[in-house]
A and B are shown apart, each in its own frame.
Chain A
Amino acid sequence: MTAPVYRFLLLALLFAAAATPCHADDPQAVEKDFKTWLNDTIVNEVKLAVSTRSNANQSEAPSLGGNTSSLVDTSSASDLIGMALNIAGLTSSSESDTASDTTTATATASAYALYSALRGVDPLDPGNYCGTGPLGAARYWRRASVTLGFDDDTSKDSAIIVGGKGILWTQRDVCSEDFSGVQKALEGATQRVSQISIRIEDQLYDLYRKDQLGIRIAEVDNITGDTATDERRRKIAFINKLADKTVFTKALEALGPDPGKTFFTTEDIDALVRLDAAAREKIAAFRGQPQLSASLQTKQRDQQGDDYRAEVIFDYGLNDRLALSLNGSYENKDADQREQGGRVAAAFHFEPFTDPLFGPKPLRFTLSGEGQWMEGTAPVYKGQLKLNLPIPRLLWLSGVELPLSVTIANRSDLVDETEVRGLIGFTVDTSQLLAAVRR
């Protein structure tokens, strides 16, 4: 069996793993305690359907890498540290003089992450994150990032990748966003949840007292006496017992097949939907804000000459599922022969699913195109379809995603035929991983 076949089998397994749901969405499908059931039922009743992930945080290798799955760069980097590995391409061609025989690995760190590490402070501490602590204006530190990596080319001189990126202009600053609308909606929703919770607890206790719940609880029954104090303590003991999964699951059976419908009034749902809508509106507005950045990337080689790219990157959210990235760059390549020129690239990022089925990062399609005009060579045009596949519902893999791409190029500078190549990669956004590890 050839290496590409192994790679395709691996790919198929990864797809199969991603498509397998880890648990059913039915809130009554597994045993739950009262608090978990209440929150799951709220989610199900309201059907939170917001796609909220930032589409501009790039954790993949920059587009200068020989075998990166990024044809187009986006304007942000990870808040803390991002790592990317793109292994040699899935190509059936035996032609070796292509970028697909290169493995590219990079690590990108924000200046904020580096400064936090040097100072030994927690980068997610709110006093640091929004810039009132020892890090000073942390929001500005997060706008700069550096990338280090290498291209390990089996057929040519391997190269070190060095890059820096700075956000020149942005309106996406979570620290200065006004969330008062969401806060107000949360207060209203929390009051409603308080009322729902009382209704359920009181109904269950009433059934228990009438011996219609089908269970007896020693901690409750052992409190004897008829005073108001005894009755209060019995009720407290009963409510606290609802934190027991087995007790609550048994008690829930007495409420019929769809207790959510029984205990959630229209006004309750309205308040929860208002909270959902307020958050969704805020997220969409935030993601739609334009952002402009500049970057400088270089490939440094031992024996051959070096490559340089100076780039301007613009991102803009067209709606809550579709975003546009534009790149314009000056290129200076000296690998085989010295050549200068320019490059223009554009990409549409599309997130088809609004439900968070796939984990902390969204499933994302990217359709992109690139044109490169270098002196002394014919123009090179490339088109790419990429799928960013997140790892679903595995806590310890939060922030990990697999970029899979297929690229079509005219490749008129190398071979007189159209090239199709596939890539798989591996990226980690440590800001999400770190948050998961803290759990």
Chain B
Amino acid sequence: MAVTAKCTADQLATELDITNGEALTYEVSFKGAQAIFSIVDQHGTIILSPADPPISAGHWRKRWPGKKGDAKAPDDLNHVFGMHFVGGATEYNYKVTRRDKNSHVIDTCKNCKYTSTAPDDSFFDPLRVFTF
């Protein structure tokens, strides 16, 4: 049984003016028993995973870049959200917003819900990020 994706925003690429303090906010939540997910770039850098402290049960949020040195400009990165349903999860919600230095939302890059009832299912959602 394939994963079903429903998105109200679903960009595959975005630019990010990190020299002027822009950042992406990644948010992941899920339904079920255990979440197995990761947001990873092509170099293997983990942006967000269940190892990060959740803001509430089953809900994670992280700003990227979080601190100076997390990103360089210009750069071409591909942040892929990978998820697996083997841990008894039935639904993942994924939201990515581009924000200015005052944390005001400029743009919603991703706002997707992924569902599956088959524990062998996995799914990957890419977002190309061009920093400058």
Instruction: Spell out A's residues near B (CB within 8 Å).
Output: 34-36, 38-40, 42-43, 48, 50, 52-53, 122, 124-127, 129-130, 132-133, 174-175, 177, 179, 182-183, 186-191, 193-195, 197-198, 201, 228-229, 232-233, 235-236, 239-240, 242-243, 275-276, 279-280, 282-283, 356, 359-360, 393, 395, 398-399, 432, 435-436, 438-439
Contact = CB atoms under 8 A, between A and B. Distances in A.
A235 B129 CA distance: 11
Given A186-B38, A432-B117, 6 more contacts: A129-B31, A193-B82, A197-B80, A235-B13, A280-B120, A438-B31
A398 B57 CA distance: 27
Contacts of A395: 4
Contact of A182 (B79, B87, B117): B87
A282 B36 CA distance: 13
A435 B84 contact: no
B119 A52 contact: yes
B80 A283 contact: no
A174 B124 contact: no
A38 B126 contact: yes
Interface residues of B, number: 62
Given A194-B78, A279-B120, A356-B120, A35 B41 contact: no
Given A52-B119, A179-B34, A432-B117, A239 B128 contact: yes
Contact residues of A: prevailing secondary structure? helix
Given A182-B87, A193-B126, A125 B58 contact: yes
B49 A174 contact: no
B69 interface: no
A232 B39 CA distance: 23
Contacts of A40: 2
B102 interface: no
A360 B49 contact: no
B106 interface: no
Contacts of A236: 13-15, 128, 130
Nearest to B115: A439
A175 B33 CA distance: 6
Interface centre among B1, B49, B79 (most CB of A within 10 A): B1
B84 A35 contact: no
B12 A174 contact: no
11 contacts: A39-B2, A126-B32, A179-B36, A187-B82, A190-B40, A191-B44, A197-B128, A232-B130, A236-B13, A236-B14, A283-B86
